[in-house]
Amino acid sequence: MAATDILIRVENLVKYFPIMRGIIFQKQIGSVHAVDDVSFNIIEGETLGLVGESGCGKSTTGRAILQLQRPTSGHVFFKEEDLVTLKRNDLRKMRRKMQMIFQDPYASLNPRMTVGEIVGEPLTIHGIDRGKELQDHVDQLLHMVGLDPAYANRYPHEFSGGQRQRIGVARALSVNPSFVVCDEPISALDVSIQAQVVNLLEDLQNELHLTYLFIAHDLSMVRHISKHVAVMYLGIIVELTDRDELYKHPLHPYTKALLSAIPIPDALAEAKRQRIILQGEVPSPVNPPSGCRFRTRCPIAQKKCGESKPEFREVGSNHYVACHLV
């Protein structure tokens, strides 16, 4: 992995949300450890899949990278620039290079703006186009995501969920970014539409040489689109490696449990297979367990798992795990 290929470098990213009490004079009485020291790289032109259960911090990670949530500490390098240290105006200029596709196709579009206005807004904000050129550019974008440009003056409520998601893609790509965070972009869609949208994303990635951070909780979909996969649990990354390696040789007990939950389309094999079922509830991110966070649900936990935090270290070629027992 040559250093020049890395587009995004995340170093020790931390995001805590304070919990406040009090009416007039507010005091902080604790914090939610949403993202707790996370580091990874994303190579230009590739897709990193980020998986985990709901509430593990993956969406927050995505937002923290884009500086939609300012990190509590840590660094996010876009090429050589540390986004965390950028001031507002510089950050706004950087927005042209990194964008986001949102999860909810119904809530992510302003119901009182036409589709054309929604897709064209980034172009207006950054002064890229005006007037006729703006119209043409918007039409071109709509066509690129598979929508008929004649409907640019319709309103979002006149479109289906899958179509609205395409509008969201068009909006994100309007400024020609290099990096796109896809925050569970297909979770809210019907299964048959999911495939269409994912294919669209792939085609666009090839055409425009985009880099994706694909956040999802559906492992099988992540497997299809990602080159590398990171697994998150309660704010930390527990395993990170390239896609095939993860699905063939998972090392962390959590990853193994997740993978065992994916149904196999072969009824006999499915019946014979041993599922790993995790005990207990996900601990609260306000007060994570000491040592290894996963130990309260881990089927192979031992005493030393409660004593010290496992280091996130390389155990194979390009295969990182955070576990004492690997």
Partner 1 sequence: MVAQLTEDTKPVPAGGTPLTHKRENLWQDAFRRLVRNRAAMIGGTIILILIFIAIFADFIAPYPYDKGVLTDQNKVPEWMGTLFPTMKPYMKTSDKYPFGADYIGRDIFSRLIYGTRISLSIAFIGATISLVIGIIYGSISGYFGGRADNLMMRSVDVLYAFPGLLFIILLMAFFRSSFAKPQVGTFGSILGQIDSHMGGMFFIIIGIGLTAWETTARLTRGQVLSAREKEYIEAARTVGASDVRIMFRHILPNIVGPLIIVETLAIPAYIGTEAFLSFIGLGINPPTPSWGAMISDGAQSIRTYPNQAIFPALALAITMFAFNFLGDGLRDALEPRMRGSQ
**CB nearer to partner 1: pick between 261 and 300:** 261
Least distance from partner 1 to the Cβ atom of residue 236, Å: 25
**CB nearer to partner 1: pick between 85 and 199:** 199
Least distance from partner 1 to the Cβ atom of residue 7, Å: 18
CA distances from 325 to 18, 243, 264, 295, 312 (A): 33, 22, 28, 11, 12
**CB nearer to partner 1: pick between 200 and 251:** 200
DSSP H or E run through 17: strand 6-21
Least distance from partner 1 to the Cβ atom of residue 273, Å: 17
Phi, psi of 13 (to 5 degrees): -75, 130
The pairing of strands 73-78 and 6-21 is antiparallel
Least distance from partner 1 to the Cβ atom of residue 322, Å: 29
Least distance from partner 1 to the Cβ atom of residue 267, Å: 13
Mapping DSSP to helix (H, G, I), strand (E, B) and coil, where does residue 325 land? Answer: coil
The set of residues, in sequence order, having a beta carbon less than 8 Å from that of 37 and lying 6+ positions away, is: 12, 13, 14, 74, 236
Least distance from partner 1 to the Cβ atom of residue 56, Å: 20
DSSP annotation of 4 reads G
Neighbours of 238 (CB within 10 A): 25
**CB nearer to partner 1: pick between 39 and 114:** 114
DSSP H or E run through 242: strand 236-242
The pairing of strands 27-43 and 6-21 is antiparallel
**CB nearer to partner 1: pick between 109 and 240:** 109
The residue ranges that bind partner 1 (CB under 8 A) are: 23-24, 26, 66, 68, 92, 95-96, 99-100, 102-104, 107-114, 121-122, 125-126, 142-143, 145-148, 151, 153-155, 158-160, 162-163, 166, 168, 171-172, 174-175, 191-192, 194-196, 198-200, 203, 220-221, 224, 265
**CB nearer to partner 1: pick between 37 and 104:** 104
**CB nearer to partner 1: pick between 59 and 255:** 59
Least distance from partner 1 to the Cβ atom of residue 90, Å: 12
When computed from its CA atoms, the radius of gyration of the chain, rounded to whole angstroms, is: 21
**Integer Cα distance of 127 and 121 in angstroms:** 10
- CA 189, 233, 172 angle in degrees (round to 5)? 40
Least distance from partner 1 to the Cβ atom of residue 191, Å: 8
**CB nearer to partner 1: pick between 198 and 240:** 198
Evaluate whether 253 touches 292 at the Cβ level (below 8 Å). Answer: no
Say how many Å lie between the first and final Cα of the chain, rounded.
Answer: 24
